[in-house]
């Protein structure tokens, strides 16, 4: 039977990771994500898993990659400054196609900023933080219960697409406590990476993708399969190549394994869309205030809808474009100076007015602030 527990968001993240099969955590303590490391240190040894505190954030990301290559589902957790330090190795994981999960409990920045204050200032860093063109999946929970379920989904996507996945949470979700229904094992999907058949040991190519496959089967270090892992452009065996043809083919495949499956990856939810003439599009902890504001607006007779972007990257272009063709104004509340709003405007700006509702002083956006923006000249009925 499902268990009902009062849980903190960071705790729910750990429980979701363990439910997904995570058995290796490497990281470095940093507010407001430290509880994730603390709980992994407590929980993993009892499950025959491994926890290791590294000397810094760079090493934490490197060890996470190593744990995954050695067959264990692996995770690390950090906040803004640590997320910056992890970026080179996140790029390595993307190029080498190493599945892993990076949790970023966002806090106000830049630099060390306000360590205990919420922010959503790492949205663009999650997409473009590491250099070069690279595939990205980033998810953002809006509740403690979603911190549990989306962590499972993050591991499933990492394993299915053989790629690092970012869980882009924030201090609001990380530190709040809510009731969570913990389902029994078997009641939620758990995806494991595709592995090569033992008979293929002599013909195995670590990066050869056969027809019908999203990513190549992934052998583990020490399992008898011979392969090379590098951050350089490489051939199907994993050995470096300077060939322009090889580089172009590999990069196109890295990008297309995400872009071709956006419908499978992206989750975009709608509420209160009956006769909606304007809509509030929110994500993460700010979605909670957005929902309250939309309910108050509806009570006042305003035809306001609500949308939740649970998948931040890849951006749900199809859904946002369709939304812009239905309403006249899209409000985007977020704890930054307009990062996600800029992407919404890129897709929706030709069809609808896009208005940013930003706050970046370390305080959450309140429902009354969102409602005031809707009523203060931003709401335009058709």
Q: Is residue 201 part of a domain?
A: no
Report if residue 284 sits inside a domain.
Answer: yes
Average pLDDT over residues 88-103: 98
Same domain, 274 and 145: no
The answer to whether position 27 is within a domain reads yes
- Co-location of 11 and 127 in the same domain: yes
328 in helix, strand or coil? Answer: coil
- 12 and 135 housed in the same domain: yes
Residue 54 shares a structural domain with residue 167: yes
Domain count, the chain: 2
DSSP state of 163: S
Q: What average pLDDT does this structure show over 39-56?
A: 98
Which of 363, 133, 341 shows the shortest CA–CA distance to 253?
A: 133
Average pLDDT over residues 68-77: 98
How many CB atoms neighbour CB 46 within 10 A?
Answer: 7
The pLDDT of residue 379 is above 80: no
Domain holding 14, by residue range, is 3-182
pLDDT band with cut points at 50, 70 and 90 for residue 331: very high
163, 69: one domain: yes
> Sorting pLDDT into bands at 50, 70 and 90, what band is 377?
low
CA distance linking residue 369 with residue 70, whole number of Å: 49
Query: Is there a single domain that holds both residue 18 and residue 165?
Result: yes
Compute the chain's Rg from CA coordinates.
Answer: 21
Nearest-angstrom CA–CA distance, 310 and 14: 19
Average the pLDDT over 194-215 and give the result.
94
The per-residue pLDDT for 376 is 84
Give the domain CATH number at 68: 3.40.50.970
pLDDT for residue 67: 98
Query: Would you say residue 203 lies in a domain?
Result: no
At 49 the pLDDT is 98
Residue 119 has pLDDT above 80, yes or no: yes
Is the domain of 54 the same as that of 174?
A: yes
The band of 273, judged by pLDDT with boundaries at 50, 70 and 90, is very high
Q: Rounded CA gap, 104 and 24, in Å?
A: 17
Q: Cα–Cα distance between 380 and 121 in angstroms, integer? A: 29
End position of a domain, from candidates 131, 158, 182: 182
- The residue among 370, 170, 358, 340 whose CA lies nearest residue 280 is 370
Mean pLDDT calculated for residue range 307-335? 97
Tell me the average pLDDT across 18-35: 98
Would you say residue 191 lies in a domain? no
135 within some domain: yes
Cα–Cα distance, 94 to 130 (Å, whole number):
10
Q: What confidence tens digit (pLDDT) does each residue in 164-174 have?
A: 999 999 999 99
Asked if 288 and 344 count as a contact pair (C-beta separation under 8 A), the reply is no
What dihedral do alpha carbons 246, 251, 252, 253 form, nearest 10°?
A: 90
What is the CB neighbour count within 10 angstroms for residue 329? 21
Domain final residue pick, 182, 208, 229: 182
Does 187 map to a domain? Answer: no
For the domain that residue 309 is a member of, what is the CATH number? 3.40.50.920
Whether residue 229 is contained in a domain is answered as no
Answer whether residue 382 shows pLDDT above 90: no
Alpha carbons 368 and 373: distance in angstroms, whole number: 9
| 17 and 152 together in one domain | yes
Q: Which of 182, 203, 226 is the last residue of a domain?
A: 182
CA dist., res. 290 & res. 230, Å (int): 44
């Amino acid at each position: 039977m499902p268990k009902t527990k009062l849980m903190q968001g960071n705790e729910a993240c750990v429980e979701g990771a363990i439910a997904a099969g995570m058995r290796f955590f490497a990281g470095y303590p940093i507010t407001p994500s430290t509880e994730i490391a603390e709980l992994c240190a407590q929980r993993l040894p009892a499950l025959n898993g491994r926890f290791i505190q590294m000397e810094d954030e760079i090493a934490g990301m490197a060890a996470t990659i190593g744990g995954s290559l050695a067959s264990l589902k692996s995770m690390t957790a950090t906040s803004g400054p640590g997320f910056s330090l992890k970026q080179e190795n996140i790029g390595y994981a993307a190029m080498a196609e190493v599945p892993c999960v990076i949790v970023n409990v966002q806090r106000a920045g830049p630099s060390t900023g306000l360590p205990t204050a919420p922010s959503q200032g790492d949205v663009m860093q999650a997409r473009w933080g590491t250099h070069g063109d690279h595939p990205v999946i980033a998810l953002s929970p809006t509740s403690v219960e979603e911190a549990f379920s989306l962590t499972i989904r993050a591991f499933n996507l990492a394993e299915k697409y053989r790629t690092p996945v970012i869980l882009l949470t924030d201090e609001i979700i990380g530190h709040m406590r809510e009731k969570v229904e913990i389902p029994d094992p078997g009641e939620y999907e758990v995806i494991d990476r595709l592995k090569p058949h033992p008979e293929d040991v002599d013909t195995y190519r670590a990066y050869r993708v056969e027809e019908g496959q999203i990513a190549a089967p992934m052998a583990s270090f020490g399992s008898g399969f011979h392969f090379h892992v590098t951050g350089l452009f490489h051939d199907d065996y994993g050995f470096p190549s300077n060939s322009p043809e090889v580089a172009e083919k590999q990069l196109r495949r890295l990008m297309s394994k995400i872009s071709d499956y956006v419908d499978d990856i992206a989750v975009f939810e709608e509420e209160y869309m009956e006769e909606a003439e304007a809509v509030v599009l929110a994500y993460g902890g700010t979605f909670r205030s957005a929902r309250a504001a939309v309910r108050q607006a509806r009570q006042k007779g305003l035809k306001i809808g609500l949308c939740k972007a649970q998948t931040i990257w890849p951006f749900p272009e199809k859904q946002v474009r369709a939304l812009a063709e239905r309403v006249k104004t899209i409000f985007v509340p977020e704890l930054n100076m307009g990062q996600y709003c800029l992407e919404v405007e890129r897709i929706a700006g030709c069809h609808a007015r896009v208005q940013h509702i930003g706050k970046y002083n370390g305080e959450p956006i309140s429902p009354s602030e969102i409602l005031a923006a809707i009523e203060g000249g931003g709401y335009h009925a058709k």
